[in-house]
Amino acid sequence: VKFFPFFRTPDRRDNGFFFWSALGVGAGFVVFTVLFLAFREPVMAYYSKESPLLSEHYLMLIPLGLATLSYNFFSSWLQAFYKTVVTSFVNEILLRLLISIEISLYALRLITFEQFVVGYVLIYFVPAAILLVYMATIRQTRFRPVPVTPRVRRLLSITAVYGLWQYLGGASMYIVPIVDQTMLAGICGLAEGGIYTTIIYMTSAMQMPYRSIVKVSTPVVTNLWKERDMEGMRKISRDASLMNLIAGCFLFVVIWVNLDNIFSLMPESYASGRYVFLFLGLGWVVNMYVGLNSTILMTSKKYRYEFMLSILLVGLTVLTNALMIPRWGMNGAALATMISLLVFNVGHVAFVWKFYRIFSLSWRDVLVVLWGAAMIGVSMLIPRQDNFIVDGTIRTTLISLVFGTGIYYSKISPALNRMLEGLLRRIFVRRS
């Protein structure tokens, strides 16, 4: 995404950038598969006592990794062309829908657990396959290499160095979300691990707007760097941070006030995950709020500092989980992740301000947080209904109306107001 503007050509061959990128991705998969197999015995030994099922299905992680890697690569390529709608749909909606259907089949005992595992892995190939077909439809697949000119050779060498740093540093954002899960499963077993992972899915739903905004913003940021438009960088940073904070606070509150309804669908033991959601949710709201600072730093000339912060994040996550899980179980894992995310994001804000004088935060943003907290108080005043569907509908509707009205009329985010007004204008024009 960062270097595509420099490789792009009118003949749509783009100097073979797709081919060289695919080659690098393929080589990475081979290397890590070899390492994955080489470390099989110590990993299986770690999980053999508390989580033997993971050891039994260890090799299934290889095709699962290939499916995930393929999706990420195709998604990034489409992101460079500002094609993010299909990628978000297949991963955020279709994938979850297919997994839900498979879980239902297993719950109804229509498939065995072995069939469930195989089906789960195969489902992850669906988004990658859809993106591949979509890329072919819009003619954005370029598997054939093209002659490499001296200029392209220099660009490839620069891209390779940058890619190596990002490979090492960016890996932390994939490692950190699973460090707590793997350590929790190894120390406390799959029972708490299952509850914890379920809560993670809730926080993952919170981040859907954030991921969409980052996908759209990243190619814009790379172009702003190319044009050296620092004023534009400050504007997009500020707008994205505020919109992410509003979306994050709103979704956190909606899920928090409906936790009792959500837990009523699960075994009683899952109710113990309330504070897991509290810690993880707050940590990810902060990450959403300042998350674009990571994109700015990663795509700048100071990208090596992203690697430093990533190493700090991984080390801090492992250390805090090792200290807190034995004491507080899954609540300790959630608290450890929240602390690690806070430190990680403070580092991003500090570096982006130091190097580029970009500061996306404002004291007025506290009003959004306070308004979100007030919505929790409003929810407490709503009488609880016996039917969880009715109760959830009433709470969600009232909270949405009150929260949205307050944000709109306070005009705290002009960009969000313009977007809503444009949407309403299009709706009324179509009706008329």
Model pLDDT for residues 360-415, shown as the tens digit of each residue: 888 889 999 999 999 999 999 989 888 889 999 999 999 999 999 999 888 888 88
Max mean pLDDT among 22-26, 102-106, 202-206 falls in 102-106
d(CA 45, CA 104): 32
- The pLDDT value recorded for residue 9 is 66
Structure tokens at 153: 């050779």
Q: Which residue has the higher pLDDT, 254 or 425?
A: 254
3-state secondary structure of 8: coil
Max mean pLDDT among 18-22, 134-138, 175-179, 261-265 falls in 261-265
Contacts 24+ apart (CB under 8 A), 233-239: 233/296, 233/356, 233/358, 234/358, 234/360, 236/292, 237/292, 237/293, 237/296, 237/352, 237/358, 237/360, 238/360, 238/362, 239/413, 239/415
- Can you give the pTM of this predicted structure? 0.71
What average pLDDT does the segment 91-101 reach? Answer: 88
Identify the band that residue 210 occupies on the pLDDT scale cut at 50, 70 and 90.
Answer: confident
Residues 39-55: pLDDT tens digits? 888 877 776 666 677 77
As to burial, measured by CB atoms within 10 angstroms (0-12 exposed, 13-18 middle, 19+ buried), residue 393 is middle
Q: What is the mean pLDDT of the chain?
A: 85
Contact assessment for residue 217 and residue 236, using Cβ atoms and an 8 Å cutoff: yes
Which of these ranges, 25-39, 46-60, 229-243, has the smallest mean pLDDT?
46-60
- The pLDDT value recorded for residue 371 is 94
d(CA 63, CA 175): 18
Q: At residue 246, does pLDDT exceed 80? A: yes
Residues 180-206: pLDDT tens digits? 777 887 777 777 888 888 888 888 888
What average pLDDT does the segment 72-90 reach? Answer: 82
